[in-house]
Structures are given as structure tokens and as C-alpha cells.
Amino acid sequence: MKKFPEGKIYHVFNKSIANYPIFKDLNNSQRFIQVLDYYNNLLVQSNLGNYLKTNKNYSPELLTVKDDRLIKFLAYCIMPDHYHLLIEILKENCLSKYINDIENSYSRFFNIKFNRKGPLWQSNFKFILIKSNEQLLHISRYININPTTNYLVEKPEDWIFSSYKYYLNNNILKNYLTEISINDTDSYKNFCENNIDYQRKLKLIKKLIME
């Protein structure tokens, strides 16, 4: 079994089976955000469905400091048929169980809601170890502008199920996301948004080559 040491940073991602739009519905995306937050806790005693019966207004924010966390979210994006997470390991060797918990929880929710059976995910989750500050910076940008790259919104902050809007507010780069080497909001915004056209061209080239 793959070990994930404390302090290491990973880009984690997975896609729905047959590219099915499992997050197209806004309520589904919100549920996945809840799943991501709820199971990121050493003290989880019951499943999210039971918790929501008495906490119907549960509205998590992933980029916040909390006790008893398994991982720290550095960036995230929930796309119509896949997700991206940029995370730092806070508790050693917790990642496999955490991803298993969130994917199983969301699969149960989705299958019950839509009266379906069977797997929801294309494969086991994939991960990339982040080995440098430069790589971390570029992966955070890739994740944060992904909805704009895919023409889902005009401005990346308009995609509500990603971390980008938090990067632009409350000095979060200086006070929380200290792993990101650009700690000025305007500089990070320019770093991301000046690359949108280039990232779109790369995506088009990849599509032309692959097809």
C-alpha cells in the first residue's frame, strides 16, 4: 500500500465513470464539498448522511484552519465530471482512507438520489507528489483556472466550487496558504489570469493530438 508521509504535498484527482456529469447539479457539488470537509477529521463518529439530519445548514469552507484535520487544502476544484485537490498531509498515511471515505460517501449519496447502482468513479484516485515550490505554484494555477480553461465561466472566481475566490480575499495567501510562494493577492491573480489563453491552447493541442 502506498504511504503518504506527513508534510508532503500532493495533487490528487479522479474522474467519473464514462465521464458522467456527477457534479453538474449545484446541489451535488455542494454535497461533495460537505463530504470533503466532514471526513477530513480524526473524530468522525458517524456518516455524513446521519450528521446532516440534525445539521441541515452545514456549510463548510475548506480553506480554513481547524483542529484534528487529516489534510490541509491548498487548492481545489470540483468540475462537472471530476475533481482536483491540492493537499498537504497532516496525519501520516491517512490519504488512502480519506479518499476512500469521500468517494464512497458521495457514491452512496448519488446512487440513492438517482436510483442507480454500481461504481461512480473511473478508477482509483490518482496522485502526483509535489517536489518543488515552482511545481506547487503552477499546479495551484492549473486547478484554480480549470473552469475558465474549459469555458465554463468567463472569470475563474465565478466558479463557486473552487478555491480561487478565496485566494482573492482576506489575505489568505499571507495568513493561511503560506506554502504558495506568491503571497500578494494581485500578483497571484495576474499569474493565474495571464495564463488562461495559454492553458486553453494547450488543452486544444492535446485534444487534437489525442483524437
Give the pLDDT confidence of 159-199 residue by residue, as tens digits: 999 999 999 987 899 999 999 999 999 999 999 999 999 89
Instruction: Read off the CATH number of the domain in which 64 is found.
Output: 3.30.70.1290
Domain count, the chain: 1
Residue 178 lies in a domain: yes
On whether the CB atoms of residues 81 and 15 are closer than 8 A, the answer is: yes
- Whether 18 is covered by a domain: the verdict is yes
pLDDT recorded at residue 120 = 96
Assess if residue 1 is contained within a domain.
no
Mean per-residue pLDDT, 69-96: 96
User: In the prediction, which pLDDT does 57 show?
Assistant: 87
Q: Is residue 2 part of a domain?
A: no
Angle, helices 95-113/26-38, rounded to nearest 10 degrees? 150
Crossing angle of helices 133-144 and 185-193, rounded to 10°:
70
pTM of the full predicted structure?
0.94
Residue 33 lies in a domain: yes
pLDDT at residue 210 tops 80: no
Classify residue 4: in a domain, yes or no: no
Say if 167 falls within a structural domain: yes
Range of the domain at 52: 9-210
Q: What is the pLDDT of residues 130-145, one digit of tens each?
A: 999 999 999 999 999 9
Q: Is residue 55 part of a domain?
A: yes
Given a contact cutoff of 8 angstroms between Cβ atoms, the answer to whether 200 and 149 are in contact is: yes
Secondary structure (DSSP) of 147-205: HHHTTS-SSGGG-TTBSHHHHTSTTHHHHT-TTSS---HHHHHHHHHTTHHHHHHHHHH
Query: Does residue 42 contact residue 144 with C-beta atoms inside 8 Å?
Result: no
